[in-house]
Amino acid sequence: MTARAKLAKAASALPAPFAAWFAERRWTPRPHQVELLAKARAGRSVLLIAPTGAGKTLAGFLPSLVALHERPKANMPGGRGIHTLYISPLKALAVDIARNLEAPVAEMKLNIRLETRTGDTPLHKRQRQKLKPPDILLTTPEQAALLLSAPDAPRFFADLDTVILDELHALVTSKRGDLLALGLARLRSLAPNLRTIGLSATVAEPEALRAWLVGQGPAHFPPPERGRSIGAAAREGVMRVPGSDPSPPLRGDPPFSREGKARRVLPMADLIVVKGGAKPDISILDSTERMPWAGHTGRYALPDMYAAIKAHHLALLFVNVRSQAELIFQELWRINVDGLPIALHHGSLDAAQRRKVEAAMAAGKLRAVVCTSTLDLGIDWGDVDLVINIGAPKGASRLAQRIGRANHRLDEPSKAILVPANRFEVLECRAALDANYLGAQDTPPIRAGALDVLAQHVLGMACSAPFAADALYREVTSAFPYRDLDRPTFDRVVDFVATGGYALRTYERFAKIREGADGLWRITHPRVAGQYRLNVGTIIEAPLLNVRVGRSARAAFAGRGGRVLGKVEEYFVETLSVGDTFLFAGHILRFEGVHENEAIATRTSDRTPKIPVYAGGKFPLSTYLAAGVRGILADERGWSRLPAQVAHWLEIQRERSVLPNPDQLLVETFPRGNRFYLVAYPFEGRLAHQTLGMLLTRRLERAKLKPTGFVASDYALGVWGLGDLGAAFERGKPSLDNLFDQDMLGDDLDAWMADTYLLKRMFRNAALISGLVEKRHPGKQKTGRQVTISTDLVYDVLRRHEPDHILMRATWADAATGLLDIGRLGDMLARIKGRIVHQRLDHISPLAVPIMLDIGKEAVPGEAEEDVLREAADDLIREAMGGD
Amino acid sequence: MYCGKPLTISFGRRWAVTDAARQIAPASVATLVGVAGVVLEAFAEGVLWWADRRLLVAADLHLEKGSSFARRGEMLPPYDTADTLGRLGRLIRRLDPGIVIALGDSFHDDGGPARMAPSDRADLAFLQRGREWVWIAGNHDRLAPAGLAGAHLDTLTVGPLTFRHEPAAGPASGEIAGHLHPSARLAGRGKWVRRRCFAGDGFRLVMPAFGAYAGGLNVLDRAFSGLFAAPTFRCFLLGDERVYPVSPRTLRPD
């Protein structure tokens, strides 16, 4: 039988109401929809990779709708458990999908109940869902974890047939993904014939996602080594703990080869790939305005953006961070002479405010929306016909996702304009554009499952029913991210959940879970389950304060009147003094002070606000784009495709210094003022550069070159000091090869990491997720500030007294992949070994200008706290002396 | 380390801050703080030393706070008591006080003494040996610590100074108190520093909390209002090796 004939046969296999529904609309089921139906009927789990607009959602639900239609009526009172569980990363997406699905279900007159369950679902509805489960439940990973921790979970999920995981690529790379993977493992225990359907728009390693969707077999392990440094443990968090595999996959190394000779063969879901739709129509804005050297605002291109908005029906303007959204929105309105309806949408706006914008979008009442990644994921809110991406896209996949927002029909090209905010971003946009045409994807690899999440899950399982450690270990290691988890570590996590797992065993009598004589672990008090339920989830928000705007400061402080406009991060409020003006929710506000959990502000007619601090790119430059940018620099034949100003910039650089080959690292040194500078161009993202800067300054300090500061951007690292760096490198004291040697990731890293405040922040997250400290107590919610203080103190004590505690291990693993990006730095150091090109210059090079302009904008990190104290004390002395 | 010429700053008649740094041991240097005419030494570890009387004061030890939380299911590392006693022990060995005053909230709750690990209990007994020890009653520990040596008092008056846990309402003269866990924030070089601190005006001094798990409350919080005379109000922030006097003008709210 030919493929076509097979397809026709499968399509004709659709039950009558479905066939009629398609026919009425003169639609034929798409090949991937039919294929998925056939695979699902054969009991196979499937990963469906399809571009936006390919009818992915319908494809995912079609097997369930058909199965539910064909299922005989239940004759049990109260009906059956749920048949299909749909999980999405966003509440809004679950609600949106439910809405989209209700229409065909009604039109086909199917007797299928589908309901959503999110944090917003009222209690009475939740209780009814428990008593009379719907056929299809649409929810989030956190709600799924809650349902699984309930004692009635076995009954609720006994009839579960299908789990549909939407936007799987977005879920799996985070701790939420770890929580979900563990939940999925439990669901497989409760419903052994369960199949999964993963929906993904864009993905780098389909093999990893395919394996993620199905249960993994047991693994075998060498005994854990004793007495290693905690830094070594942290690095393993990146490199994946070696399993039975003789050559453990490292980052940048394809972990799953199809040939699979020396590698472990992993069970995988089937794969259906829908090839790509119409080629998107993307251009880089070639503004006649002067392109800035540095900065991230994209302000120079406002007239061009406004013209583009005018020429289209509905434009989405994507920016990378909230403050930039505020700025662009404000500036657009300033030049909005036509009074176009332009709105603002970002994560810290009040939910009601956001809903209003979404509704207006759907109703076609808007011409443009300035937004952050809150609109990245697949929510359909109207007929967008243009996407403007301001600033660098940071990742080819992210760009593809955003561009997919424009024109939700597969056969028509989506239209997008990239607006680089500075000269380096031009290169990045160019690289992203090439990647998009090439169809390359660069989502991050799935890392080993986090231990703090595992601790939360273990407690949840104990809340549901007593468990045997052996069985739970088998179940946990069937989850893809935990497939290499060794038994001693698992046992330590269980011990942690029970009593904190400290070497000093003084908390046995306060244990939360305890192993009984029957070998089963059970919770010691119902209160424990209550506390678990209040603390479930992995999203630890930065402490946020409400922004309340009152007519007068006095009224607002008294708690009278005023409107809550949304939330801002606590750290931002800390930088404000009373009387400062800032942009928020499109208004210029005057900061009046903090009252309890709120930042109090009043409106002001001030036209030049103090702009919220730009924290640099929130997303680091992806590895894939970094390679693209290095390629563009080295290949001058491609420069003709760059804006003339940028090509000219690169030409001058070639004349005055050099442009490195893609596999080289260029290091320039030059004097300026009374300091000596080193600028390196690794293009590995701000996080990795910041870590490199910390480590390099330590080494330069030891070489007596007196470094006094550094600044890191996504593209380059600048270090300055009082010693003549260029001369020192030429004498080989130290040589650049030694300076950039990989061994900096050893003791230097250990010593520095132990002191950095970043670790405290990571520890706080791990402490909250693992349940060491509580997010909320029944009845009273701690403010973020209280939590911050106590976990910092706990960190100090734990570090002094038990530095190899399981939670410290979890913290270091997070730091290695997260804020410090050590994994990426390690790859880079290995790549450039023996390939460092040193240019000793008399003055600053063109390529160095952007990073030099960043100097002074960022605080000099380091251990300078004592200096701040001393200076404050000196001020006092000066004041006192002057008063005498 | 500060080793310049001693510098004396005058703030009216009864107040004197001497920024002279007198080196006691390599670990830290003392900053002199005046209260009701008595010159006390404030150490970066967060204790007060009255050299003439060989009297050492530490406030808000909050011993057994970890186990107090563990009872409720938050398994904080059980090392806070050992950590706090360890730091206090180093100071006691260095200064060899004749009398030690624990200025209230020495235990996080009245059940604390009973939960102490035997090793911590032995360490405490060793520290108490050969000197007077006074437990001032706090709001967390109203009762005398059962089974432990030392006197239990509501307040203690030594010369012009009165030691009590909670600062009395309104102005006071010669009062040394704890309870409020003062801390202060200030800005400089583009970053923020938050430290525990002593807060005083020459008449009253509120001490920082010494306990490993004792948090801090910003001195600009309303809990401190009315306690200090504004013209002479100063904070003494705990640095790594010494205490830094800072004008309240440079301080920021949380």
Contact A506 B186 (CB under 8 A): no
A632-657 average pLDDT score? 86
Instruction: Flag whether pLDDT at B10 surpasses 60.
Output: no
Dist CA A508 CA B252 (whole Å): 43
Residues 58-77 in B contacting A (C-alpha not used; CB under 8 Å): 67, 70-71, 73-77
DSSP helix/strand/coil, A77: coil
Neighbours of A857 (CB within 10 A): 13
Nearest to A458 by CA among A519, A528, A541: A528
- Are B64 and B146 contacting, i.e. CB atoms less than 8 angstroms apart? no
Pair A267, A216: CB distance under 8 Å = yes
pLDDT (0 to 100) of residue A232: 46
Q: Are B228 and A853 in contact (CB under 8 A)?
A: no
Give the pLDDT confidence of A330-346 residue by residue, as tens digits: 889 989 899 999 998 88
Average pLDDT across chain B, whole number: 86
Give the pLDDT confidence score for residue A139 in this predicted structure: 93
Which tokens belong to A239? 């490199």
Identity of the residue numbered B87: R
Decide if A449 contacts A481 (C-beta within 8 A).
yes
- Give residue A859's pLDDT: 38
| CB within 8 Å: A868 and B83 | no
- pLDDT number for residue A722: 84
Pair of tokens at residue B177: 């108190």
State the burial class of residue A524 (Cβ atoms within 10 Å of its Cβ: 0-12, 13-18, 19+): middle
A165 has which bridge partners? A87, A198
**Residue B240 pLDDT > 90, yes or no?**
no
Strand, helix or coil for residue A183:
helix
Joined tokens for residue A201: 């728009």
Contact indicator for B147, B164 with CB cutoff of 8 Å: no
Distances (CA, A) of A206 to A45, A271, A481, A699: 14, 8, 15, 41
In terms of pLDDT, which residue wins out, A688 or B176? B176
In the predicted structure, residue A397 carries a pLDDT above the cut 70: no
- Tell whether B117 lies on the interface with A, counting CB pairs under 8 A: yes
Give the best-scoring range by mean pLDDT among A17-21, A149-153, A597-601, A613-617. Answer: A149-153
**CB A695 within 8 Å of CB A826:** no
Q: So what's the pLDDT on residue B166?
A: 96
Measured between CB atoms, which of B193, B216, B245 is closest to A865?
B193
* Max mean pLDDT range (A204-208, A590-594, A698-702, B127-131): B127-131
When comparing pLDDT for B169 and B26, which is higher?
B169
Residue A782 has pLDDT above 90, yes or no: no
The pLDDT score that the predictor gives to residue A666 is 94
Categorize the per-residue pLDDT at A353 as very low, low, confident or very high, splitting at 50, 70 and 90: confident
Beta bridge partners of B184: B195
What does the alpha-carbon distance between residue A98 and residue A101 come to, in Å, rounded to a whole number?
5
Question: Token digits for B107?
Answer: 């235990």
Question: Does residue A699 carry a pLDDT above 50?
Answer: yes
Is A465:A499 a contact under the CB 8 Å cutoff? no
Least confident of A145-159, A340-354, B34-48: A340-354
Query: Tokens at residue A858, please?
Result: 């960022």
Measured between beta carbons, the chain A residues lying within 8 angstroms of B246 are: 869, 872-873, 876
CA distances from B193 to A574, A856, B187 (A): 11, 19, 6
pLDDT digits (tens, 9 = 90+) for B179-205: 999 999 887 654 567 899 999 999 999
Q: Report the distance separating Cα A191 and Cα A182, nearest Å.
A: 14
d(CA A557, CA A109): 56
CA distance B105 to B63: 8
pLDDT on residue A210: 93
DSSP assignments along A121-156, one per residue: S-HHHHHHHHHS--SEEEE-HHHHHHHHHSTTHHHH
SS3 A282: strand
Specify the pLDDT at position A4.
59
Write the pLDDT tens digit of every residue in A493-543. Answer: 999 999 999 998 889 999 999 999 999 999 999 999 988 988 887 765 555
Residue B117 or A534, more confident: B117
**B203 φ, ψ to 5°?**
-110, -35
Q: Which of B14, B16, B50 is nearest to B30 (CA)?
A: B50
Residue with tokens 């639609």: A27
The distance of B49 to chain A (nearest Cα, Å) reads 21
Residue with tokens 């950039």: A740
Q: What is the pLDDT of residue A411?
A: 55
Over range A132-145, report the average pLDDT.
Answer: 93
Judged against a pLDDT cut of 80, whether residue A272 lies above it is answered with yes
pLDDT at residue A861, as a whole number: 38
**In contact, A39 and A46? CB cutoff 8 Å:** yes
How would you class A168 by CB atoms within 10 Å of its CB: exposed for 0-12, middle for 13-18, buried for 19 or more? buried
Each residue of A80-117: pLDDT tens digit? 889 999 998 877 778 878 888 888 899 999 999 999 99
Contacts with A499 from chain B: Cβ below 8 Å: 70, 75
With contacts defined as CB-CB under 8 Å, which chain A residues touch B234?
Answer: 876
Q: Which residues of A touch B80 (CB under 8 A)?
A: 797
For residue B101, give how far its alpha carbon lies from the nearest alpha carbon of chain A (Å): 24
Separation in Å, CA of B240 to nearest CA in chain A:
7
Distance between CA A861 and CA A758 in Å, rounded? Answer: 11
pLDDT score, position A839: 92
Under a CB-based contact definition with an 8 Å cutoff, are residues A262 and A246 in contact?
A: yes
* B10/A876 CB distance under 8 A: no
Please report which confidence band the pLDDT of residue B55 belongs to, taking 50, 70 and 90 as the band edges. very high
Highest mean pLDDT among A247-256, A282-291, A841-850, B46-55: B46-55
Residue B190 contacts A, CB cutoff 8 Å = yes
Q: Whole-angstrom Cα distance, residue A656 to residue A774? A: 58
Given this model, what pLDDT does residue A826 score? 85
Q: How confident is the model at residue A228 (pLDDT cuts 50, 70, 90)?
A: very low
- Summarised one tens digit per residue, pLDDT across range A703-762 is 888 887 777 888 889 888 888 999 999 998 899 999 999 888 877 777 776 666 667 778
* Contact between residue B144 and residue B135 where contact means Cβ atoms under 8 Å apart: yes
Q: Is the pTM of this model over 0.90?
A: no
Q: What is the pLDDT of residue A24?
A: 86
A629 near A431, Cβ under 8 Å? yes
**Which ipTM score applies to this complex?**
0.85
A601, β-bridge pairs: A549, A591
Q: Which of B1, B76, B185 to mutate to test the interface with A (most CBs of A within 10 A)?
A: B76
* Per-residue pLDDT reduced to its tens digit, A41-70: 899 999 998 876 667 788 899 999 999 998
Which residues does chain A have within 8 Å of residue B79's beta carbon, measured at their own beta carbons? 502, 504, 797-798, 800-802
Residue type, B204: R
Chain B: nearest CA to A586, how far in angstroms? 26
CA distance A506 to B117: 8
How many other CB atoms sit within 10 Å of the CB of residue A224?
Answer: 12
Beta pairing class for B55-58 and B48-50: antiparallel
Lowest mean pLDDT among A42-46, A401-405, A706-710, A797-801: A401-405
Distance from A325 to chain B by nearest Cα, in Å? 24
Task: Say which DSSP state B27 is in.
Answer: T
Q: Residues A574, A859: contact at Cβ < 8 Å?
A: no
- pLDDT category, A680, cuts 50, 70, 90? very high
How far, CA to CA in Å, does A348 sit from each of A95, A371, A583?
Answer: 20, 11, 13
Q: CA-CA distance, A557 to A593, in Å (whole number)?
A: 9
Tokens at residue B210, please?
A: 């010494």
